[in-house]
């Protein structure tokens, strides 16, 4: 028994260039850039739409958007607790900038000396200090301090919580915090 193969030429037609013998995936035709203005003009010429469904005035009435709009956020929570403008400015920052700016503020308030390495945030009376800052979660009297490294080079940790009108600060010796026996 012998197997033979015969090349079968198909009469497929490309949807891009409209030529036979290949499809849109193998088409060598250069893509043409079309401006947003042309797209908008063509769209409105071909569609009989009285409302632009992509405009905010349309989708703001969807159930999904309404549920998001009414959702409690961190900034809404702080505003509802009558926080001062300075606190609201910090609350409104993204996580990384909030941590960086909070650290600088705490360093300045307590007149901390310079860090001795990337593994601490400053010094006070020769003691190396790590600063961790947090905000309240939306609608909760709760927060979390993250990324406290047990192997980093610091002796004390300062935990700063941005309250509604001020900072709340707690300090603890690293050995006590981590349960390390001296």
Name which of 20-29, 44-53, 66-75, 136-145 the model is least confident about. 44-53
Residue given tokens 């002796």 in the structure block: 155
- Please give the DSSP secondary-structure letter assigned to residue 25: G
Mean pLDDT rounded to a whole number for the chain? 83
- Please give the DSSP secondary-structure letter assigned to residue 161: E
Q: Which two tokens stand for residue 143?
A: 């927060």
39, 33 Cβ separation under 8 angstroms: no
Name which of 4-8, 69-73, 143-147 the model is least confident about. 4-8
Convert the pLDDT of each residue in 6-49 to its tens digit. 444 446 777 777 787 777 667 776 555 555 565 555 554 444 44
Convert the pLDDT of each residue in 150-177 to its tens digit. 999 999 999 999 999 999 999 999 999 9
- At 110 the three-state DSSP class reads coil
pLDDT, mean of residues 49-69: 82
Q: 162 CB contacts (<8 Å, ≥6 apart)?
A: 87, 90, 91, 102, 133, 134, 135, 136
Integer Cα distance of 115 and 171 in angstroms:
17
Work out whether the CA dihedral 73, 74, 80, 86 comes out positive or negative. negative
- Please give the DSSP secondary-structure letter assigned to residue 111: T
Residue given tokens 């893509």 in the structure block: 31
Residue 116 has pLDDT above 60, yes or no: yes
Look at strands 122-124 and 127-135 and give their pairing. Answer: antiparallel
The half-sphere exposure of 49 on its side-chain side, counting CA atoms within 13 A, is 14
- Tell me what pLDDT residue 48 has: 44
161, 137 Cβ separation under 8 angstroms: no
Confidence of residue 115 (pLDDT cuts 50, 70, 90): very high
Residue given tokens 């609350």 in the structure block: 91
More confident residue, 12 or 55: 55
148, 86 Cβ separation under 8 angstroms: no
């Amino acid at each position: 028994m012998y197997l033979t193969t015969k090349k079968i030429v198909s009469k497929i037609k490309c949807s891009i260039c409209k030529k036979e013998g290949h499809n849109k995936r193998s088409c060598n035709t250069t893509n043409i850039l079309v401006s947003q203005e042309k797209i908008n003009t063509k769209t409105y010429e071909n569609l009989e739409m009285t409302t632009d469904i992509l405009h905010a005035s349309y989708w703001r009435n969807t159930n999904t958007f309404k549920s998001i709009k009414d959702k409690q956020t961190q900034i809404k929570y702080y505003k509802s607790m009558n926080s001062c403008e300075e606190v609201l400015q910090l609350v409104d920052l993204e996580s990384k900038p909030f941590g960086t700016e909070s650290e600088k503020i705490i360093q300045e308030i307590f007149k901390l000396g310079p860090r001795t390495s990337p593994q601490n945030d400053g010094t006070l009376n020769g003691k190396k200090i790590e600063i961790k800052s947090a905000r309240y979660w939306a609608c909760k009297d709760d927060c979390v301090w993250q990324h406290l490294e047990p192997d980093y080079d610091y002796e004390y940790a300062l935990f700063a919580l941005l309250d509604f009108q001020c900072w709340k600060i707690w300090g603890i010796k690293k050995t006590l915090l981590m349960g390390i026996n001296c």
